[in-house]
Each structure stands twice: as C-alpha cells, then as structure tokens.
Chains A and B, each alone.
Chain A
Amino acid sequence: MSIPDRLLNIPRPVIFILIGLAVFVPLLFKFLLPLKVLKPVKDVYDFIESLPEGTPVILSFDYSPDVLPECYPMSLALAKHLARKKLRIYIMTLYPAGAGFALDVYNKILKEFNLVERKDIVFVGYFPSIAATILGIGEDIRNVFKTDYFGVPFDEIEAFRDVKNYEDIKLVITISGAAIPESWMVYANGRYGANVAAGVTAVMAAQLYPYYRSKQFIGLIGGMRGAAEYEKLLNAHNLATKGMNSISLANFVMVLLVILGNISFFIKRRRKR
C-alpha cells in the first residue's frame, strides 16, 4: 500500500486514540494558553457589572447532562459573577433534567459567597411549560413562582419582595444546548422588552448570532471558548479554561487529520490523471 493510500485509510481506532489523547493529556497539566476575549462575551460581563447591588436577575439552567461539559462551566462562572456583584439571584430551569445542576450551583455559591437563602438567592425549581412560564413572569412572578424548590411559599421569600415582572428583573440569563434561548428572546424580550443574555453550546451559538447582532440578546457566551473567556474576565480560571486546552488540541488534531486526508486525496487524483 502506497503512502497516500495509507494516509487515506487511517484506521478508525487510531483516530479515536489520537482524539482521546488530545482531550485527555491537557487535563493532566496546568497551563494557560492565550485567549482573546471577544465582544459577545464581554457584553454579558459588562452588563452584569453595570447592575447595582441587589438587582433581581434570573439565571435559568435550560440544559440536560448531554451538554454538561460546555454548559456547566459557564453556569458556574456566571453564578459566581452574579454572587460577587451581590445581585438578587433567581435560579430556575425549564428543562426537567436541569434541576440537578441548578441545585448543585445553588449550593456551591450559597456556601462560597456566604449568601442568605431566599434573600440573596432563591431556587425556584423546574417549570414544565416554556412559553407559559416565560410569559407568566412577564405578567406577575407571583403567578409562576408560587413556592421555591423546597416548598417555601412565595410570601415568605424575601428575595421576591417588591418584584413583579421583567420591569424589576433587569436581566435574564439562559444557559442551554437547545432552542430555549430563542423562547426567552421571543417571549421575554420580544413581548416585555426584558434584557436577555444566552450561554449556549458552540453548535447553538452560530444559530443565535443573528439575534445578538440585532440586540435581542444583550450578549452571547458560545461554547467552552465563551466560558473560558468569561473565566478570564473574572480572573478565576476554572473548568472552562482546562476544557479549552483540551478542545484546542483536539481541534488541532482534527484539522491535521483533514489536511492529511486532503493531501493524500490530491496526490492520488493527480496520479490517476
């Protein structure tokens, strides 16, 4: 078998091993690769920075475990930023499997920032109807957040005091690997003029850029890179920065493989002619 033939037929297990190593090896070492913060991510950060202390903000975990590696690091980074800024955080989810992550992040920042439960932060749980929930918040949160996740009634939750709808809730952040940010954009921003920011998987980001450009999203955090950029802005390098090293190397290996495949393809084609 000639060299171009061999390069055109690298066995699948070899490719799997190469990608596996590219993902795994960077996780063993602690190093920082350069990373430029792009405008869509900076816009989210700047908007949060501009909010005064105590402003109510919704952080919605609209994803399931399949997109955990991309969405969880940005969830944590955003939650930490909100807590650091001492905003009033309402954590919720419109995805049945999202409640677990939401609870996890809720417990983590509660502990790390010494927040007061139901005063500085409240976890309202999962809501089954996406459109009705988003629209309902636009009318009166009392009709939607009847209790928190642990069953404490609305009136006993200090974090809800003097808050009615999106006029009081100055920012909605949705983190998702599906089309839920579009629902937030259509119903919360379109109908009620709410400020919506989205943290999404890299695949979804391409789909949502038009809405960011038309200012229907105030900012966009796309994939692991977006999360790593956010961690850089916070100066708190964590899961996303580590993951970004792996993704960088894995992408590099993929590009090399495709280049190798193409070189062999051209050599073979020329020989045939």
Chain B
Amino acid sequence: MKKEIPIFIVFFIGTIGFLQYFFIGPISKSVYTLLLEWFQGVQGMAIVMAVISLTKRHLHNLKRKKDTFYSLVTLSSLYGMIILGVFFGIEKGSTFDKIYEYVMVPLNATTFSLLAFYMASASYRAFRARNLESTLLLLSAFILMIGFTSFGDMISDKLPSFAQWILDVPNLAAQRGITLGVALGVLATSLKIMLGIERSWLE
C-alpha cells in the first residue's frame, strides 16, 4: 500500500487536472479552483520541507565533522536571514534588506560575471573552423556577436537585421524541433508516472 496509495493519488489528480481542460462548467471550474488552492499549499510545504532537509543534511555534516565550516556558513546564513526577516522586518533599509543588497547581490552577480572571462578564454581555445559544421557555427556566432552589438550597427544597419533573421529562422526551426521533442517526452513521462509504470520517484 505504501506505493499503491501515492500512485492512485497521482493518477486521480492527474486525470482530473487533464480532464478539466476539456469540460467547461461550474463543477469543472470549482474543482480546478480547489486544485489550485491545494497546489499553492503543497508548494508552500515544499519550501518548508526543503529547509528541513537542508538543515538535517548540514547538522549531519557537523556531527561527522565533514565540511564543518561550509555547513556552519550555510546554516547560519539560512537561519540568520529567517530570524532577521521575521523579527526585524524586510522593508527598505532593514538589516535583512542591507544583507541582501550589499552581500547577496554582489556575490551572486560577481560569480555569474566571471563566466564572461572563462567564456572568452574557452572560445579562443576551442572555436576552430575545423570542418564545414564548425565553420558554419563560427560564422553564425560572429554575425550574432557583432550584429547584436553597436559595432554591428556601425558596420551596416542591415547586420543587426541579419542577426535577427538568424534567430528568427534557422534558430526558430531548430528550437521548434527541440521543443516538440521535449513536449512529447514530457507527455510520455507524465503518462508513465500516472499509470504507475515509472516508479523511481517513489524511492
């Protein structure tokens, strides 16, 4: 029963969620609204579960004296921010807001910005016109990189439009193919989960 009940719930809710798209009426609407409310509740609980799971994981690390420093930083940051937010407010100018603005934002942005340097270095080393495919890739990358900057406008006012055409036509064709493939995959996986064929999520 440990597996059957969750599979039944998934099948039942999944079928209702699917069917209500095709039936318009007061009952369908009220069921849908109820599901939405539950959905919000479940999502809220998922965050609580995430906090509990993270705490357990790092307490376990502390007990085993494994990566003690990192676990201490994680736990103190997590609970420090919760305490500051709940007891001292989150409005502009509060300590919570200052930590967000002057610690989290610069750290996060800096980490991401470093990518530009590594990307430049990696492109220089790896981007080679070795064969027809890589040459095409290289050319389209050049057109996009230059076309979407002000230098593109300086070279010719048609270059940005051509870069846009690459995004609008060849890119669009490839993206649509990928999207359709992904959608079919999602549909197949959803059906497998609803019918209990795919059970790895229960383990």
Contact call A66/B111, Cβ cutoff below 8 A: yes
B40 within 8 A of A: yes
Contact call A15/B116, Cβ cutoff below 8 A: no
A205 within 8 A of B: yes
CB-CB under 8 A for A129 and B44, given A66-B108, A251-B145, A254-B145 = yes
B139 to chain A, nearest CB (A): 11
A15 to B122, CA, bound (A): 10
A95 to chain B, nearest CB (A): 12
A66 to B112, CA, bound (A): 5
Contact residue among B90, B120, B160, B172 (Cβ-Cβ distance under 8 Å from A15): B120
CB-CB under 8 A for A252 and B167, given A132-B39, A209-B172, A258-B138 = no
A260 to B164, CA, bound (A): 26
A99 to B39, CA, bound (A): 22
Contact residue among A35, A40, A128, A262 (Cβ-Cβ distance under 8 Å from B129): A262
Kindly identify, within residues 232 to 255 of chain A, every residue whose CB is under 8 Å from any CB belonging to chain B: 244-245, 247-248, 250-255
Contact call A20/B175, Cβ cutoff below 8 A: no
CB-CB under 8 A for A210 and B120, given A128-B44, A132-B40, A135-B36 = no
Give every chain A residue within 8 A of B161 (Cβ-Cβ): 36, 38
Contact call A252/B111, Cβ cutoff below 8 A: no
A68 to B100, CA, bound (A): 13
Contact call B175/A10, Cβ cutoff below 8 A: no
Contact residue among B32, B117, B149 (Cβ-Cβ distance under 8 Å from A225): B149
Contact call B120/A65, Cβ cutoff below 8 A: no
A265 within 8 A of B: yes
Inter-chain contact count A-B, CB under 8 Å? 158
Please give me the residue from chain B that is nearest to A253 by CB atom.
Answer: B120
B131 within 8 A of A: no
The interface bits of chain B over 29-64 (1 if a CB of A lies within 8 angstroms of the residue's CB, else 0) are 100110011011011101100000000000000000
Give every chain B residue within 8 A of A225 (Cβ-Cβ): 148-149
A192 to chain B, nearest CB (A): 12
The interface bits of chain B over 103-123 (1 if a CB of A lies within 8 angstroms of the residue's CB, else 0) are 011111101110011011101
Contact residue among B43, B97, B120, B127 (Cβ-Cβ distance under 8 Å from A132): B43
A40, A69, A99, A132 — most chain B CB neighbours (10 Å): A132
A10 to B39, CA, bound (A): 54
Kindly identify, within residues 36 to 51 of chain A, every residue whose CB is under 8 Å from any CB belonging to chain B: 36, 38-40
A261 to B130, CA, bound (A): 12
A64 within 8 A of B: yes
Please give me the residue from chain A that is nearest to B90 by CB atom.
Answer: A99
Contact residue among B32, B104, B160 (Cβ-Cβ distance under 8 Å from A36): B160
Contact call A35/B153, Cβ cutoff below 8 A: yes
Contact residue among B36, B112, B127 (Cβ-Cβ distance under 8 Å from A136): B36
CB-CB under 8 A for A100 and B105, given A213-B172, A252-B146, A261-B127 = yes
Contact residue among A10, A104, A257 (Cβ-Cβ distance under 8 Å from B123): A257
A254 to B126, CA, bound (A): 12
Known: A38-B164, A99-B90, A258-B142. 10 other contacts (CB 8 A): A35-B153, A100-B105, A129-B43, A129-B44, A143-B36, A150-B91, A206-B171, A255-B142, A257-B124, A258-B123
List, sorted by A's number, 30 A–B pairs whose CB atoms are closer than 8 Å. Answer: A15-B120, A33-B153, A34-B153, A34-B154, A36-B157, A38-B160, A65-B107, A65-B108, A65-B109, A66-B108, A67-B112, A100-B97, A100-B101, A104-B92, A128-B46, A129-B39, A132-B40, A139-B32, A143-B33, A143-B37, A206-B175, A207-B175, A209-B167, A223-B148, A252-B149, A258-B138, A261-B125, A262-B127, A262-B128, A262-B129
